[in-house]
Amino acid sequence: MPRPMPEETPGQPEPAKSRKGLQLYHYVGIALLLGVALGWAINGPGQWEQRVVYERQVNIAQYKIRQAEKEGREPAPEALQDLAQAEAALEAAETPAWSSVTMEICRTAGQLFLRLIKMIVVPLIFFSIVYSVANLGDMARLSRIGWKTVLYYTCTTGMAVLLGLVLVNIIQPGVGANNLLSSGAPEAAEAGPPTPTELLLRIVPDNPIRAMAETDSLQIIFFALCLGVALGVMGKKARVVVEIAEVLMDAMIVIVHWILKLLPFAVLALMARAVGQAGISLILQLAKYMLTVVLGLAIHGYVVLLAALWIFARIQPWRFVKGVAPALITSFSTASSSATLPITMEECENKVGIKERITSFVCPLGATINMDGTALYESVAAMFIAQAYGIELSLGEQVMVFLTATLAAIGAAGIPEAGLVTMAIVLRAVGLPLEGIGIIVAVDRVLDMCRTSVNVLGDCIGAAIVARSEGEIDEDILYAEDRPAA
């Protein structure tokens, strides 16, 4: 049976095993604890919380002065006075030398990691969208199944983002977390809420190269979509270019793997700095954020998607979950939809009875572009960061989050932490500082495991729904357990 093997995609998480058998996420866990301990030690004797307040005052005053200069007016005397006072207070706020040095090292290490993420995001998203969409051209020719699949993906991903937005607006995990971040608000405030027409205009680039140079994510995505569709329509003639896009996408994924090797160090540095500045209250705030994501994932995966399964595929949810459990467990532990793909297909065929004609098409596509869990997480995380910065996003901006989170999930590869990388797109689109990623990165691995298993559950349910509508489910296999053993 021709089947995409994990080795075919460099997107696979290498098992990431060390000689002692420890895996990347073990190191991330250890780094997280060490980071908290180090941050706690820094926060304890020092005056860091006070320093952060002064730093923010300096930033806000500087921002007001910059704004005035931009608009060609004299800065208000109060702003100058505020700046002088805050700078003096900052200088006077003594912190032990060792903690200042450690904080500076942590800041540099954290920034380095964030810059690497920023470096990779544009090419990664561009090539992966061009490649996936160009292949959709073939898919459209597969007519009915293709369109049913895309319809299912679009509806469920949209619902996931919507659910995430509703939950994050109700729970508001980031409100009161502004002590986590020292310098975001001024930068973010420059974005301003877009009007609906502005929103529309912002999507279409007048110059795609400029859009890339300025990391204008929505415009890049729009251009990549156009190029992908064009290449798909051109068929054979464009095959070489599509293959080049695939190779380049794979190369970007290889680089992402290299960057991920640094994740434990980044987590240690970012966590130590964050806890050092904000104290232990940070943990509580992050717990609230994690809870929001996990609650959203649970509702979407185990209520919304299972209800869709019951309604459209007429399969008992419990029987189904039991059947695909190995795929869910594998996706949870590897945090990679692509690595789980062979198991996803195996279980869908041999436990649920979905015919190979459907699984061989729907599952690989789903592992690449259908990521409900990731989409939900992206929307919650972006809103959490906005709330932490004390920025209220207007309805127009939340629509923007909706659009970009959906597209960012489509663009995310089925590999560990891909969602964290494409997060930059959502933040960028609504003018939030990318530094916000620094806060959520520490707990991202755990959330990645949870969201990946919802991604895979969504792929399996999609295959079942499409298969049922095509009459391609083998009832004998589906109900095999019910029959008395011969």
Name the minimum Å distance from CB 42 to ligand ASP: 30
When asked if residue 417 is in the footprint of ligand ASP (CB under 6 A), the reply is: yes
When asked if residue 452 is in the footprint of ligand ASP (CB under 6 A), the reply is: yes
When asked if residue 459 is in the footprint of ligand ASP (CB under 6 A), the reply is: no
Give the interface segment with ligand ASP, choosing from 34-42, 211-219, 223-231, 408-416 (CB under 6 A): 408-416
CA distance to 123, 206, 374, 414, per residue, from 224 (Å): 10, 14, 20, 19
When asked if residue 102 is in the footprint of ligand ASP (CB under 6 A), the reply is: no
When asked if residue 419 is in the footprint of ligand ASP (CB under 6 A), the reply is: yes
Residues sharing a CB contact under 8 Å with residue 252, sequence separation 6 or more, in sequence order: 120, 123, 124, 127, 128
> Looking at beta carbons only, is 211 or 324 nearer to ligand ASP?
324
When asked if residue 301 is in the footprint of ligand ASP (CB under 6 A), the reply is: no
Q: Please identify which residue in 177, 348, 362, 418 interacts with ligand ASP, judged by CB under 6 A.
A: 418
When asked if residue 165 is in the footprint of ligand ASP (CB under 6 A), the reply is: no
Please give the distance of CA 342 from its chain centroid, rounded to a whole number: 23
Name the minimum Å distance from CB 418 to ligand ASP: 4
When asked if residue 416 is in the footprint of ligand ASP (CB under 6 A), the reply is: yes
The closest alpha carbon to 385, from 436, 447, 424, belongs to: 436
> Looking at beta carbons only, is 194 or 411 nearer to ligand ASP?
411
> Looking at beta carbons only, is 28 or 58 nearer to ligand ASP?
28
> Looking at beta carbons only, is 137 or 416 nearer to ligand ASP?
416
When asked if residue 374 is in the footprint of ligand ASP (CB under 6 A), the reply is: yes
Q: Which residue is nearest to ligand ASP (CB)?
A: 419
> Looking at beta carbons only, is 211 or 297 nearer to ligand ASP?
297
> Looking at beta carbons only, is 418 or 424 nearer to ligand ASP?
418
> Looking at beta carbons only, is 13 or 184 nearer to ligand ASP?
13
Name the minimum Å distance from CB 411 to ligand ASP: 11
Give the interface segment with ligand ASP, choosing from 135-143, 170-178, 276-284, 412-420 (CB under 6 A): 412-420
Q: Please identify which residue in 400, 415, 467, 478 interacts with ligand ASP, judged by CB under 6 A.
A: 415
Name the minimum Å distance from CB 422 to ligand ASP: 8
d(CA 329, CA 460): 13
When asked if residue 12 is in the footprint of ligand ASP (CB under 6 A), the reply is: no
> Looking at beta carbons only, is 106 or 421 nearer to ligand ASP?
421
Give the interface segment with ligand ASP, choosing from 212-220, 395-403, 410-418, 460-468 (CB under 6 A): 410-418
When asked if residue 372 is in the footprint of ligand ASP (CB under 6 A), the reply is: no
Quick one: three-class SS letters along the chain? CCCCCHHHCCCCCCCCCCCCCCCHHHHHHHHHHHHHHHHHHHHCCCCHHHHHHHHHHHHHHHHHHHHHHHCCCCCCHHHHHHHHHHHHHHHHCCCCHHHHHHHHHHHHHHHHHHHHHHHHHHHHHHHHHHHHHHHHHHHHHCHHHHHHHHHHHHHHHHHHHHHHHHHHHHHCCCCCCHHHCCCCHHHHHCCCCCCHHHHHHHHCCCCHHHHHHCCCHHHHHHHHHHHHHHHHHHHHHHHHHHHHHHHHHHHHHHHHHHHHHCHHHHHHHHHHHHHHHHCCHHHHHHHHHHHHHHHHHHHHHHHHHHHHHHHHHCCCHHHHHHHHHHHHHHHHHHCCHHHHHHHHHHHHHHCCCECHHHHHHHHHHHHHHCCHHHHHHHHHHHHHHHHHCCCCCCHHHHHHHHHHHHHHHHHCCCCCCHHHHHHHHHHHHCCCCHHHHHHHHHHHHHHHHHHHHHHHHHHHHHHHHHHHHCCCECHHHHCHHHCCCC
A 10 A CB-CB count for 119 gives 12
Among positions 315-344, residues that touch ligand ASP (CB under 6 A) are: 335-337
CA distance to 112, 189, 342, 386, 412, per residue, from 422 (Å): 17, 22, 25, 17, 6
Name the minimum Å distance from CB 159 to ligand ASP: 17
When asked if residue 366 is in the footprint of ligand ASP (CB under 6 A), the reply is: no
When asked if residue 455 is in the footprint of ligand ASP (CB under 6 A), the reply is: yes
When asked if residue 453 is in the footprint of ligand ASP (CB under 6 A), the reply is: no
Name the minimum Å distance from CB 374 to ligand ASP: 3
> Looking at beta carbons only, is 177 or 420 nearer to ligand ASP?
420
Name the minimum Å distance from CB 151 to ligand ASP: 21
When asked if residue 156 is in the footprint of ligand ASP (CB under 6 A), the reply is: no
When asked if residue 412 is in the footprint of ligand ASP (CB under 6 A), the reply is: yes
Q: Provide the binding-site residues for ligand ASP, judged by CB under 6 A.
A: 335-337, 371, 374, 412, 414-419, 448, 451-452, 455
